[in-house]
Chain A
Amino acid sequence: MNDFVKYTLWFVCLILLQEFLFNNIQFIHFLSPYIYIFLILILPFNMHSAPVMFVSFGLGLSVDIISAGILGAHAAACTAAAFCRNFIIKITIPRVEYESMSTSTAMQIKWNIFLLYAFLFVFLHHFILFLLEILSLDNFIFTFARILISSIITTVFILLIKILFNKDFKRNV
């Protein structure tokens, strides 16, 4: 399968999954996992920041439009997270991993390394998103707790997705 087609499929599937499954899951009313950012995580390591940001912006905007929340909030959070992606990759993933030709995406790295990378990324995204939604620093501890717990839940789901689809990637790359 061609890379472009593969990522487009992921794009559509993740948005649909987000809207029709995860947006309806509410553990406690204020916790919401946003698993769609899995797409940004698995974009190739050697992809430049600019295209990553474009894809992220489009992804966030699509989720905004479909979920009918605050138009632009997901787009802003995704773009910001994408902007920091390269930095997060550098500090969490060993150099040999992302510079070797055999591992071109985060799909192929070990789950324990992936976990830290994913969590930092998810946390950054959720932090921006939740603050944009509330736009107030009143009750910051509560907001921070929401961000932290939601990030953990999202990370767990993202890890599950990675483990489920690992084989698929190994076969195709």
Chain B
Amino acid sequence: MVSIIRFLLRYRTAILFLILEFVAAVLIFNNSNYQKTQFAAYVDNIKGIVYEKYAGIKQYFKLEDENKKLIAENLELHNKLNYYINRDTIRSGIAKNIVNRPAYTYKTAKIIRNSTNKQQNFIILNTGSKQGVRPEMGVISSDEKMIGMIVKTSPNYSSAISILNTGFIKFSGKLKRTGNYGTISWNGVNINNVQLHDIMQQSDVVIGDTVTTNQHSGVFPENILIGTVEKINIKDGIFYEIDVKLSQNMKMLQNVYIVDIHDKDEINTLLTNE
């Protein structure tokens, strides 16, 4: 106690200085909007820089994996392209009156922060409203597996709700083989599993079936891979609760695509008018 008092007495000038400056700072930032926003902008900027640097370092150590993935993806795309080129030449005569534009486009983005250790996990991406990102756009991994959905955007960054988020049940999925669809949610237990609900108990489901997105969500294109059926739980009532093993390792995410479904608003107005 005595030494504390001695310390306070010894540095009384410095302490007084700090107190007075603190009072002045409180006055400045409480009373002036310019100073307040300027200060907030600084803090945001610094946070962004730190997260981005950190993500950059992490990315460096994962380069090899990422490269392998890119090569595989390239190969697949080449194959697809060849297929379409061949098909196009055959059908070019009759394709004239078909509306010829893509239903959706991808934007690339880099993950700067991602969590999997909470019940409500979010992903921060380095693309924002300046680059045309809007809420309710889907986020998929670079090899086209479902990850999450944009919920909030700032000019240069955006935040997406991860599929590993217990507070969210808007994703919908379907069994690719039979076309039965239901809702996807996460029970917060295992980060490799999500649950597919609302599949009738009479339906034809076997372990190993592929689960993909369906087009009803308006967030993802059709047939984006979610995972495979791992376990079929029989619950009270008429529905199954199906454990789906995620195809995407949510801890290994770096580069992602943001899906911009065109004419979404237009389609939604039609839906609400019905």
Contact = CB atoms under 8 A, between A and B. Distances in A.
Interface string A118-141: 000000000000001001100000
Interface stretch (A20-28, A29-37, A73-81, A88-96): A73-81
Contact of A79 (B21, B32, B35): B21
B27 A75 contact: yes
Interface stretch (B10-18, B53-61, B149-157, B159-167): B10-18
B26 interface: yes
Interface in A29-86: 48-50, 53-54, 57, 60, 64, 70-73, 75-76, 79-80, 83
A75 B39 contact: no
Main SS at interface, chain B: helix
Interface in A125-171: 132, 135-136
Contacts of A54: 16, 20
A53 B20 CA distance: 8
Contact of B28 (A49, A57, A73): A73
B13 A50 contact: yes
Nearest to B24: A76
A87 to B, nearest CB: 11
B31 A71 contact: yes
B38 A80 contact: no
Contacts of B27: 64, 71-72, 75
A136 B27 CA distance: 18
A132 B23 CA distance: 14
Q: How large is the interface on A (under 10, 10 to 19, 20 to 34, 35 or more residues)?
A: 20 to 34
B17 A76 contact: no
B38 A135 contact: yes
Contacts of B13: 48-50, 53, 83
B25 interface: yes
Q: Name, among A49, A64, A72, A132, the residue most crowded by chain B CB atoms within 10 Å (CB to CB).
A: A72
Contact of B12 (A50, A70, A72): A50
Contacts of B21: 76, 79-80
A161 B16 CA distance: 30
Contact of A71 (B20, B28, B34): B28
Contacts of A48: 13
B25 A53 contact: no
A135 B39 contact: yes
Given A50-B13, A71-B32, A136 B38 contact: yes
Contacts of B39: 135
B16 A76 contact: no
Nearest to A136: B38
Contact of A70 (B17, B23, B31, B42): B31
Contacts of A53: 13, 16-17, 20
Nearest to B27: A72
Given A72-B25, A72-B26, A83-B13, A57 B35 contact: no
B25 A76 contact: yes
Given A83-B17, A135-B38, A135-B39, A76 B28 contact: yes
10 contacts: A49-B13, A50-B16, A53-B16, A53-B17, A54-B16, A71-B27, A71-B31, A72-B23, A72-B27, A72-B31
Given A72-B27, A76-B21, A136-B38, 9 more contacts: A53-B16, A54-B16, A60-B24, A64-B27, A71-B32, A73-B28, A79-B24, A83-B17, A135-B34
